[in-house]
A and B are shown apart, each in its own frame.
Chain A
Amino acid sequence: MDFLLDTQALTDFLSTSLRLSIPIIFAAVGGVLSERAGVFNISLEGCILAGAFGAAVGAFLSGTPIGGLFLGIAVAACAGMILAGLAVGLGINQLVAGIAINILMLGMTSYLARLILGADATSTLPGFHVIAIPGLSAIPVLGPVLFKQDFLTYLMYATVALAWWFLYKTPWGLNVRAIGDFPVAADSAGISVPGVRLACVMASCMLAGLGGCYLVLSQVFVFTEHMSAGKGFIALAALILGRWNPFGAFLACIFFGLSDALQLRLQFNSPEVPYQLFSMVPFVASFLALVLFAGKVRPPSAIGKKYVRGGK
C-alpha cells in the first residue's frame, strides 16, 4: 500500500476510485428515488446496460457524445416505462418485473449492438473530454480528483445534491416519502399514488441510464456485451447502506469505488495470483457491509407492496 504515501499515486488511486463509483452513484441515486416511493428497482442493472447501449448507438450515429447522452437516457426511459407499466400500472410483483427487464436488456442490447454497430463495435466512440475547473483543480490531491473530470462527473455532483434537495426540501419530495411509507395517507391527502410512483420509477431508470452513458462516453468509449457487470446490484446494496438517502448512497458508492480501485491495484501488483480472486473484492465488500449493517436500517414501510385503494 505504499502508493498511498506518494502524492501522484494517491491522486491517481482516488481519481480511479471516483471514476469507478460514478456509474454506481447515478444508479444508486435513481434507486433511492424509486424505493422512497415504495417501488423496488431491481432493474437498475438492466437500465445501466440500456443507457450504455443507447449512448454507444447515439454517439456512433450522431458522431457526438451529446447525441449518445440523449439516446442513452431515452433507451433507459423505455426500460423505465416497461417497469412502471408492469409494477405500478398492472401491479405485477416488482421484483419479478425488474428481473424480467434485466434479462430483456441483456439479450436485446447484445443483439441490437451487433446489428447496428456491427464491425465498428470495437472502434473508439466520441466521448466527453476532461474539463479542469480553474482554481479548484489546483488544490493538492483532492483538486485533480474532484475537479479535473468530465461533464458527466460534474452532472453527477449536481444530481446527488438535487436529489437530496428534491426529497427533503420540496413538496414533491414530501409526497414521495409519504407514499413510500404509508400510501393510504398520501392518497387520502389527494396525492396520486400511481402518478408519483410512475414518475419516480421513470426518473430512477433514467438516472441508472446516465450511469451507463458514463461507462461508454467517459470511461471506455466502446460498448461491450453485459458491460454493466453487476454495477446495478452494487448500487442496490449502496442505497441500503446509504439508508435511502442520496448523500448516504453517494458515500456508500465511493466506498465501493475505493474497494474496486484497490482490487485493480492488487491485480496489477500481484500478477501471480489469479485476477478473478481480486475482482471479487467489491462484491465481498458489499456483502460484508450489508451483513454489518443488517437490522440497523429500516426501509420505507410500503416498499414492494402494490397500492390498491381500500374500501368495500
Chain B
Amino acid sequence: MAREYALEFDQITKLFGDFKALDKVSLHVLEGSIHAILGENGAGKTTLMNVLFGLYQPDGGRIRINGIETVVRSPRQAMDLGMGMIHQHFMLVETLSVIENIVLGLPGQGIRLSLKEHIDRLSVLSDAFGFEIDPYTEIWKLPIGMRQRVEILKVLYRDADIVILDEPTSVLAPNEIANFLDGLKRLRDNGKTVIFITHKLEEVTAVADRITIMQHGTVTAEKAVSETNTKEMARLMIGRDMVFEDLEKPKMEPGPVAVSVRDLRAQDDRDIEALKGVSFDLQSGEILGVAGVDGNGQRELAEVLTGLRRPSSGNVSVFGQDVSTLSVYDRRHKTHMSFVPEDRQQTGLVLDLPVVKNAMLRDFRIWPFSKHGILHMQNARDMATAWVKRYDIRLRSVDQHARFLSGGNQQKLIFAREIECAPRILVVMQPCKGLDVGAIDAVQRTVLHERARGTAVLYISTELEHILSVCDRIAVMCAGEITGVISPAEATSERVGALMGGISDADAA
C-alpha cells in the first residue's frame, strides 16, 4: 500500500500559560481517507485544528502537509495549502445567496462580480460530488442540512484537498445525518481527504477509515476503525467504561400530581397553532419524557409551562393551583419550577457575564444572593465555588466569562443553578444536545438524582436513547398533539416510530 500521508502532526505541544492544551500530539492522516478525531469536549481537538489553521502557533512539534514540513501562519495560508475547514457554527451570511456565499472572499475576481461563470463552475463541482443545490436561494431559506452542504461546497470551490469538519452532525436532524455521512463517503471516493471531529461513536464506525482518540490534550490511540469497536473507543475516550443503558434507576413510587395540563393550545412565533389540545399529568418523583421529531410543539410546550409563552386556551395547574396567570418569576419562585432551556448559550446563560453572576441569575433577588436589594457577592462567590466542585465544572476561576466554558461545563453550570434551589418541578429541554459522553452521563445522573429527591421532571428531548434510559413514562408528540404515552418497556422502535409519525394507538386499533 503506497499511500501517502496527506497530513502529519509530529509531537505538537501547545501551552496556555501553565496549562498544556496539547501535549506531544502526533497524528497521521492518510491521503484519500476519512479520519475521525474522537474526544470529549476539552480533549484538545479544536485547539489542534486551530494550530493547523494558523490561529495558534504551536510551542513545539512539526506539521507536515503532503510530506513537506510547513509552518502555517494564517487561515488564508492554510486555504492556499489546500485545507478547508467547516466550523460547527456555519460561516454563512444568511441574507446572501448560495453562490454569493461561495464566491465571498475568493481571490482574483477582478472588478466585476460574474456570478454566472461561478455558477457554471459550481454546478460541475456539485454534480461530481452529488451535492445538488439551487445557487440563487438565500441561505436563510435553507434547512440546516443544506446549509452545511453550502459550507462543504464553499471549501471544495477553493480547491481544498483536505476537508476538515468540526462536530458536523451536532446541528443536523436525525434524518439529515445519514445523507451527510453518504456525502462524506463521496468526498473520499473522489480522492479528497476528510478529517472529522466528533464524539459520536456510531458515526465513526459508520464512515471513518482510521481514528485518533484524544483525551486531556494527549493522543490515547490511533488505529484503523476495523480493528476496534465502540466499547473500546468509548473507554479510550473517557478513560472509563461508559454507562449506556444501565443507569442506576431505583424503583420509585410516584407521589401526588405536580403538574396537570389540560387541553392546552398555543401558537408558535409565526401564529400557527403549535399545540393542539395537549393534556397530561406529571407526578412528583417521576420523569416524564417528551419524545418526538424536532418542531412538533415541544418547544412551545416548554415555553407555555415556564410562562414564556401565553397559551391560547386550556390550563396548567401546579399542585392543584391554576398558574395560567402567573409570571415567569412567580412560577419559578412560588411554584418552585426550574427550567433548563434548549439553547444554553442564548437562553440559559449570559455568555459575557462571569460564571459567578450566571450562577445567581435565577435567585439573585433573594437571600443568600442579596438582601434589601443589595447583592452579596461574597456569598455568591462561595456558592458558585461550592457548585463548581459539586458538579465538577471545569474552569479557571468563577470570574471567568461563561463564554469560555466548554458546552458540557456550561450545561453543568445551568443545572447547578436550577437544581441547587431545590425545585419541585424541573423542565429540561434537549439537555444533552451537543455534549460529549462524559457530560451526558453527568446530566442524566443529575436528573435521576432529582427524581430520587421527589422532583417532578419533564424531560423533553429528540434523542430517543436518552429518553429510554432516563424516563419512567414517555409521551410522544407529533404535530402539536400527544399521540401516546407509553412505558420504556413498551417502547419498541416500531411503536415509537408509529407514534412519532402521528399514528396514535387509537388509530392502530
Contact = CB atoms under 8 A, between A and B. Distances in A.
Contacts of B50: 311
A84 B92 CA distance: 26
A290 interface: no
A173 B91 contact: no
Given A171-B103, A174-B100, A174-B104, A185 B113 contact: no
Interface string A195-217: 00000000000000000000000
Interface string B369-382: 00000000000000
Interface residues of A, number: 21
Contacts of A188: 75, 85, 87, 91
A62 B146 CA distance: 61
Residue of B100, B101, B113 most packed against chain A (CB within 10 A): B113
Given A188-B75, A190-B76, A174 B55 contact: no
B404 A191 contact: no
Interface string B74-90: 01100100000101001
A186 B105 contact: yes
Contacts of B79: 190
Describe B's contact surface by its main secondary structure: loop
A189 B111 contact: no
A182 interface: yes
B105 A170 contact: no
B96 A189 contact: no
B91 A174 contact: no
Contacts of B104: 174-175, 178, 185-186, 189, 191
B94 interface: yes
Contacts, number: 67
A311 B87 CA distance: 12
Contacts of A181: 93-96
Contacts of A185: 90-93, 101, 104
Interface in A165-195: 168-171, 173-175, 177-178, 181-182, 184-186, 188-191
A185 B90 CA distance: 8
Nearest to B89: A184
Interface centre among B55, B90, B92, B104 (most CB of A within 10 A): B104
B68 interface: no
B378 to A, nearest CB: 28
A174 B103 contact: yes
Given A190-B76, A190-B79, A184 B103 contact: no
Among A168, A178, A189, the most chain B Cβ lie within 10 Å of the Cβ of: A189
Nearest to A178: B93
A177 B111 CA distance: 16
Given A169-B112, A170-B111, A171-B109, A182 B55 contact: no
B93 A182 contact: yes
Nearest to A183: B93
Contacts of B109: 171
B401 to A, nearest CB: 10
A121 B167 CA distance: 68
B106 interface: yes
A175 B95 contact: no
A296 interface: no
Nearest to A182: B93
B94 A182 contact: yes
B93 A311 contact: no
A32 to B, nearest CB: 15
Nearest to A171: B109
Interface of A: 168-171, 173-175, 177-178, 181-182, 184-186, 188-191, 301, 311-312
Interface of B: 50, 55, 75-76, 79, 85, 87, 90-96, 100-101, 103-107, 109-113, 404
20 contacts: A170-B113, A171-B103, A171-B111, A171-B113, A174-B100, A177-B93, A177-B96, A178-B101, A181-B93, A182-B91, A182-B94, A185-B92, A185-B101, A188-B87, A189-B104, A189-B105, A190-B105, A191-B105, A311-B55, A312-B404
Given A170-B113, A182-B94, A185-B90, 8 more contacts: A168-B113, A174-B100, A174-B103, A181-B94, A186-B93, A189-B105, A190-B75, A312-B404
Question: Which 6 A-B pairs give the minimum distances between C-beta atoms?
Answer: A189-B105, A185-B91, A171-B109, A182-B93, A188-B91, A190-B76
